Amino acid sequence: MRTHTEYFVFHTKKKRELVHLTPRLEKVLEVSGIREGMMLVSAMHITAGVFVNDNEPGLHEDIWKWLEGIAPFRADYKHHDTGEDNGDAHLKSMLVHHEVIVPITAGRLDLGTWQRVFYAEFDGQRDKRLIVKVMGA
């Protein structure tokens, strides 16, 4: 088994933002030379996440609305007693989760017809890292 690791750094323009990763991940896979295996894509921060879904703007709006409904930005989170103001970002990260594993078959990401990979930033406007680890043969 071989591995290939790359790190991405994001500095989003907005506090909350979605970044479509699939094209960059395809390039990482190409560089890796791995034809069969798996790709781990993991946000290295507790206020960001990674998920697989459709690349459709209306759905993205629905996702943001859903997340805000479950974990709204508000001032009364106990976490804010530490001097932070991002309690909702931590909760949103838990809902989306921080990583995905994508299968690799015949040198391609083996995604469903409409599946794409996204980085979700919930507390941006500063440097955040993401690790991509390709494993296989």
pLDDT tens digit string along 50-61?
A: 999 999 999 999
* pLDDT classification of 93: cutoffs 50, 70, 90: very high
CATH architecture of 2-74+82-136: Sandwich (2.60)
Tell me what the mean pLDDT of segment 92-101 comes to: 97
How many other CB atoms are found less than 10 A from the CB of residue 128? 19
**88 CB burial (10 A radius; 0-12, 13-18, 19+):** buried
pTM: 0.96
What's the pLDDT at 73? 94
